[in-house]
Structure 1
């Protein structure tokens, strides 16, 4: 009954016998005959051939559900078999936003590839929302994100922790009376965020803010911080990436909330002053995420073990 399931599934995916035949490298009459054999064994038609494009019958929908369950079981068993190997050969697809793909993944990938040269890595850069969906549909194995994803659907491992900081152009007059609250940035040293007290954000409420767009974790935390101090931020620009915010601040056009991870990866600049923020809103985890319940094959295990700052 399921011996010809790959033929049925290809027609379902292509919604066309001719296109499916091309993908399968067989003739359309041969494909049609194979589908009829499956339908004869099932006892019911699987496709409604009167619609354009062709569609599944009720029985066909159930058949496809069963095929996908079989495929999932086969994939799980294939992954299990990989445990019997040393996993020095394999493939892993990882993903992240532009921040992580440009500043975090390159050294991690270089170290991993040097140690495991026969494991192929694929890197996908996209928004966190799109990356979440790619995990769920199996396109990506692991992503790195500073958003806290739903633990009902995603498993995680801590990569790092960071503080969201207030970044202000150095030339602003307000900085002159706040030197005790300013963080010192030194070459090859992490910011000692705990060394100063959080700044009173109301001191900056009349300045223009550069915020990330609505779907970003940094945006949500920025609004929470402003509301905590009792004001609505005056938003000058809404951008997609922290790096864009950072560069706008460097031009003196406004102030922004930037993660210390980004700051630590960029050259030290005397154009900025950094302030600590209320920890209940500014502290966050940066996690590796993968689909909950997914079999963690040896290649995934090795990457998660090796990946560190």
Structure 2
């Protein structure tokens, strides 16, 4: 067995198809099929049942893949340590972010990162949070940035806080009745609340249509949790893949949406929209870098995560809200 063979076998296991794995590995299907057969002959046992579609992995195959992933991770950790020993002048960082978050966070950190590490190539996998978790477990990425806490992660993963991000409810002003406020607009001090129009009582909003993100997105999981806490079975007007689109539809009066503040900021900020708190203490979630506990983060990877902390902790602190009285 060699590293190349282990990579090929684990890719076939992930894809459950030799054809799909061959495309991902940029080799021909016959070549990959020959390699799989060779490995099976070398170890003396079948790793896959090719009589099913998609193909299934045997018990022996599961054991092979489990061990191969550990060996490949150890090899990658060694490569990073050797790069660090050479002052980190060359290399590649492969990490993940949801698409909109990448557009929001990366422009703030990449220029300074490239100035410090011009020889390091950055590759970003953009996907939903659930897909990024699967990619991390397969070792396709070193870490990913997501608002998902330690308690929501499988054993063996670590969540390192980058910054706290505020959550808002966005709605067209005519959708919000006076009886929905915990605090009426006459009691609001705009300078203290950065453009927040008031604090709403979700219990009074259970009959309104909700604009939701599709399942698999972190904000959908958070919204479902919040609504369950209020005993609300929401009337879902539409499900989307974009928080920015959710803000725009909510502003057009098609429903209400719970979104992270960064989605509002991307469209010009809270001055352009009717944004509300939905609890007496403003809601936040922690945006974290998630990686395997046994993953060695190279010097450049560590620098990239620390840059995100410096930039966004400072930005969040400057916009810190005053709790409702």
TM over 0.5: yes
Across the aligned residues of Structure 1 and Structure 2, the Cα RMSD in angstroms comes to: 4.3
1:179 pairs with 2:185: yes
Inter-CA distance 279–87: structure 2 relative to 1 (3 Å threshold): farther
User: 1: distance between equivalents of 2:7 and 2:167?
Assistant: 48
The corresponding residue for 1:301 is 302
Inter-CA distance 275–173: structure 2 relative to 1 (3 Å threshold): closer
Q: Deviations over 1:199-242 (max 9, x none)?
A: 22233333222122233332333334334444433221122221
Inter-CA distance 192–154: structure 2 relative to 1 (3 Å threshold): farther
Please, which runs of 5 or more residues in structure 2 have no aligned partner? 313-325
Q: How does 1:152-191 map to 2 (within 5 A)?
A: 152-172=155-175, 174=177, 178-180=184-186, 184=190, 191=194
The corresponding residue for 2:224 is 223
For residue 150 of structure 1, report the CA deviation from its aligned partner.
0.9
Is 270-279 or 117-126 further displaced after alignment?
Answer: 270-279
The corresponding residue for 2:268 is 267
User: 1: distance between equivalents of 2:109 and 2:5?
Assistant: 41
Q: Deviations over 1:35-59 (max 9, x none)?
A: 69x97xx7x74569x9779999988
The corresponding residue for 1:111 is 112
User: 2: distance between equivalents of 1:86 and 1:93?
Assistant: 19
User: 2: distance between equivalents of 1:181 and 1:215?
Assistant: 38
User: 1: distance between equivalents of 2:62 and 2:233?
Assistant: 51
Inter-CA distance 59–129: structure 2 relative to 1 (3 Å threshold): closer
For residue 283 of structure 1, report the CA deviation from its aligned partner.
2.2
For residue 182 of structure 1, report the CA deviation from its aligned partner.
5.9
Compute the TM-score of the two structures, normalised by the length of structure 2: 0.70
Compute the TM-score of the two structures, normalised by the length of structure 1: 0.73
User: 2: distance between equivalents of 1:116 and 1:270?
Assistant: 38
**Contact 1:169/1:271 (<8 A) preserved:** no
SS at match of 1:152: coil
User: 2: distance between equivalents of 1:58 and 1:152?
Assistant: 22
Q: How does 1:169-248 map to 2 (within 5 A)?
A: 169-172=172-175, 174=177, 178-180=184-186, 184=190, 191=194, 198-248=199-249
Inter-CA distance 51–147: structure 2 relative to 1 (3 Å threshold): closer
User: 2: distance between equivalents of 1:271 and 1:55?
Assistant: 53
Q: Deviations over 1:168-201 (max 9, x none)?
A: 1134462698314768489xxx9487xx974222
The corresponding residue for 1:83 is 84
User: 1: distance between equivalents of 2:56 and 2:246?
Assistant: 48
Please, which runs of 5 or more residues in structure 1 have no aligned partner? none
Bigger Rg, which one: 1
User: 1: distance between equivalents of 2:146 and 2:300?
Assistant: 20
SS at match of 1:164: strand
For residue 100 of structure 1, report the CA deviation from its aligned partner.
0.6
SS at match of 2:177: helix
For residue 68 of structure 1, report the CA deviation from its aligned partner.
5.3
Q: Figure out how many residues of one structure are paired with residues of the other and give that number.
A: 289
**Contact 1:15/1:55 (<8 A) preserved:** no
